[in-house]
Amino acid sequence: MPRRRDRRVGSPPHGRFTRPERSGPGARRQGRRARGIGLGALSSAALLVLGGLTITGVGFAAASVWHSGAPDECADGTTRTTLTITTAPTLTAPIRRLATEFSRAHSDRSGPCVTFEVSATPSDRALDALSRASATGSAVPDVWIPESADWLELGQESNSAAQQLPARATTIAGSPVVIAMPRLMAQQLGWPEHHLTWADLAADANRTAFWPSRGEPRWGEFRLAMANPENSAAALRAVIGTVGAARRLAPADMTPGTFDQDRTTQATVLRLERSIDWLPQYDHQLFDAVRGGGSDGTGGGAPSAFPALESDVIAYNRTLAVRAGSISASTLVASYPADGAFTATVPYIVLKRTTDSAPKRAAATAFAAYLRGDAGRQALTAAGFRTPMELQGRDDPDGLSASLNVTDGVRSTPPKLASTDASDNVLGTARRFFRHSRERGATLAVLDTSGSMALPLTGDTGRTRLQAAADTALAGLRLFASDSEVGLWQSSAELPGGHRELAPLARLNAPGHTGTQRGDLTAAPASLKPAGSSNLYSTAVAAVRQLTDRFASGRINRVVLFTDGDSNAGGDDHADSEQPGRPAANPEPTLNQAVSALQAAADPRRPVQLIVIASDPGADLAALQRLAGATGGHAYLTPDADDLFDIYVNTLTGG
């Protein structure tokens, strides 16, 4: 059984799930996508609250020296303790301020004598550094403060990171995961009475005339944006929330198999990924886009909605209020999804190596208490975070609720936390499958049009083998994203060279004769007539060689061969290696020869996989599997729609 995060005594739990009532209508749309624009940039929201602080570790040391003692010595002459802290960018400003205040408060003999070194690193990169570093390496901080305890859970999946991370951490603050929208758009949908749900978000993103149908044609389509769940805790929770809404499943009831094996879940994630209009790397890029979306309230190219942390929405709005003096057209508001309420709790993570040092352990423990005290609560609520008491559903007169105003765009009471949540394995598998869902292919489809394809299907006189193969090919085409590259060949011995190109390799949304490349590919099979002997094996070799020569870096390169799989297709039954009707100068290779040729063409640096899909139940599957297996591929017999989806997912995940 996967390990679940239960409520622990002594500190509030990590991100939790509640299951209030569902609400809201919706529909779906296919969206565009743009790449992220930069790594490691400080979040805009981080710079909004307490911004401009550039205090360094040297500054902390000077602040904590008592009288005129040396910088590396305490007031009593002992060596000063250095505590290195890595924080998420949104937390850097308040943590630096608190470290400075802590040093000043302990500049006499009343507590630990500490030099703080605080650095900002996006949580995904901090976790990656922990996974790569040794337990005593310089890249490992003494304390890690990511924006969500989900990063601690994800760290448990890495053996190297888990060796350095504790099983649990102290919660110092938290922030609900919300759906952020420009205020005018949200009000058009009934906010603040109506709040979008995860189901709404996934459905609305697929509606091509969403805003025009609501009387706002200037806003165009509903633009769903999301930071990459590889880098964003809010986006990862959006994936889990969308699946939970579609499967009517609480995260606590999810298992790794939910994302690894459940095809309904995987289809939900694929639809979500395809509906995202823009997928930058980090959350701050989304806020920057809204800020630059224009002052007329139309949004321009800005997102219509995106998952975010409530604290980032607050920080963003407060900076706008300071600049504009009132609510502006770029103000954001928060919806709290009723079909999946999550809270990102901020953990204070003391690494294992720190606890092995008594001075560091004492310093880390004292600073944790300081963060949970009055000074810590004030600084963190000023940055837009909820206090631990608020996260437990208790009133806190010094909490965030007491300082909220209408310009903040959030509600006063945060969602209640459930007692259990998704396990670290569930978070990890959800994150990995979304990564797989983003994989794009360069696929050369080959349609066998030899004479045997005119025969009726074995046991079925309703369709010919070519019709069945074409139907399967078109059904498979519908699984591909619009920016996938697909080309089409026809294979028959009557053609010069045994094959011809019907459509060059191009993105499905590229212009074509019928409007788009997808349209050209859809229309092509209707004009094909079966004739001639089979050229199956030589065409397979030629297609793999061409795709290897034109290898598309960063994509899954594959040849998909649609055939009836006739046992005479490859010429194994002809002693002279020729087939009737085939010119002697172009003999069809035997199966053994084709397998050898495919193995010889293989290039580990440019891997091309051959997938063979046989449309006729009487196909020689063993022979076809030998052919495909020479490239590490597979052969399949008469797949239905569910089988095609399985094949597609297997190519994404390497299954």
Residue 35 in this model has a pLDDT that exceeds 80: no
Handedness of CA 427, 284, 345, 313 (dihedral sign): negative
Q: Which residues are CB-contacts of 468 (< 8 A; sequence separation ≥ 6)?
A: 457, 615, 616, 638
> What integer pLDDT is reported at residue 49 of this predicted model?
35
> What integer pLDDT is reported at residue 286 of this predicted model?
96
Find residue 442's DSSP bridge partners: 485, 557
- State the DSSP code for 81: E
Q: Which residues are CB-contacts of 447 (< 8 A; sequence separation ≥ 6)?
A: 466, 469, 470, 473, 488, 489, 490, 491, 502, 525, 528, 562
Find residue 441's DSSP bridge partners: 556
CB 389 within 8 A of CB 399: yes
CB 479 within 8 A of CB 473: no
Q: What's the whole-number mean pLDDT along residues 420-425?
A: 83
Q: What's the whole-number mean pLDDT along residues 347-362?
A: 94
Residue 142 in this model has a pLDDT that exceeds 80: yes
Which has the higher per-residue pLDDT, 588 or 596? 596
Residue 69 in this model has a pLDDT that exceeds 70: no
Residue 580 in this model has a pLDDT that exceeds 60: no
Burial class (CB in 10 A: 0-12, 13-18, 19+), 58: exposed
CB 345 within 8 A of CB 14: yes
Q: pLDDT confidence of 79, banded at 50, 70, 90?
A: confident
Q: How far, rounded to the nearest angstrom, does the alpha carbon of residue 320 sit from its chain's CA centroid? A: 29
> What integer pLDDT is reported at residue 47 of this predicted model?
36
> What integer pLDDT is reported at residue 308 of this predicted model?
98
Q: What is the pLDDT of residues 443-494, one digit of tens each?
A: 999 999 999 999 999 887 789 999 999 999 999 999 999 999 999 999 999 9
What is the number of residues in the chain?
655
Q: How far, rounded to the nearest angstrom, does the alpha carbon of residue 77 sit from its chain's CA centroid? A: 52
- Omega before 192 within 30 of 0, i.e. cis: yes
CA dihedral 296, 299, 305, 308 (to 10 degrees): -70
Q: What is the pLDDT of residues 310-322, one digit of tens each?
A: 999 999 999 988 8
Residue 19 in this model has a pLDDT that exceeds 90: no
Q: In 10 A of CB 353, how many CB atoms?
A: 17
Q: What's the whole-number mean pLDDT along residues 394-404?
A: 90
DSSP3 helix / strand / coil % (the chain, rounded to 5)? 40, 20, 45
**3-class SS at 397?**
coil
Q: How far apart are CA 16 and CA 417, in angstroms?
A: 5
Q: What is the pLDDT of residues 214-246, one digit of tens each?
A: 999 988 889 999 999 999 999 999 999 999 999
Which of these ranges, 11-15, 174-178, 294-298, 598-602, has the smallest mean pLDDT? 11-15
> What integer pLDDT is reported at residue 134 of this predicted model?
65
> What integer pLDDT is reported at residue 459 of this predicted model?
84
Q: pLDDT confidence of 105, banded at 50, 70, 90?
A: confident
CB 550 within 8 A of CB 443: no
Q: pLDDT confidence of 57, banded at 50, 70, 90?
A: very low
Question: Angle at CA 499, nearest 5°, toward 497 and 504?
Answer: 120
Q: What is the pLDDT of residues 603-618, one digit of tens each?
A: 999 999 999 999 999 9
> What integer pLDDT is reported at residue 423 of this predicted model?
85
> What integer pLDDT is reported at residue 208 of this predicted model?
77
Paired sense of beta strands 511-512 and 420-421, if any: unpaired
pTM (2 d.p.): 0.84
Q: How far apart are CA 507 and CA 555, in angstroms?
A: 12
> What integer pLDDT is reported at residue 108 of this predicted model?
63
**3-class SS at 178?**
strand
Paired sense of beta strands 460-464 and 420-421, if any: unpaired
Q: What is the pLDDT of residues 428-441, one digit of tens each?
A: 999 999 999 999 99
State the DSSP string of 35-94.
----SSPPPHHHHHSSTT----HHHHHHHH--TT--TTB-TTSPBPEEEEEEE-HHHHHH
Average pLDDT score over the chain: 84
> What integer pLDDT is reported at residue 575 of this predicted model?
31
Residue 60 in this model has a pLDDT that exceeds 70: no
Residue 533 in this model has a pLDDT that exceeds 70: yes
Q: pLDDT confidence of 289, banded at 50, 70, 90?
A: very high
Which has the higher per-residue pLDDT, 412 or 284? 284
> What integer pLDDT is reported at residue 654 of this predicted model?
84
Which has the higher per-residue pLDDT, 406 or 441? 441
Residue 544 in this model has a pLDDT that exceeds 60: yes
> What integer pLDDT is reported at residue 30 of this predicted model?
38
Q: How far apart are CA 651 and CA 512, in angstroms?
A: 27
**3-class SS at 500?**
strand
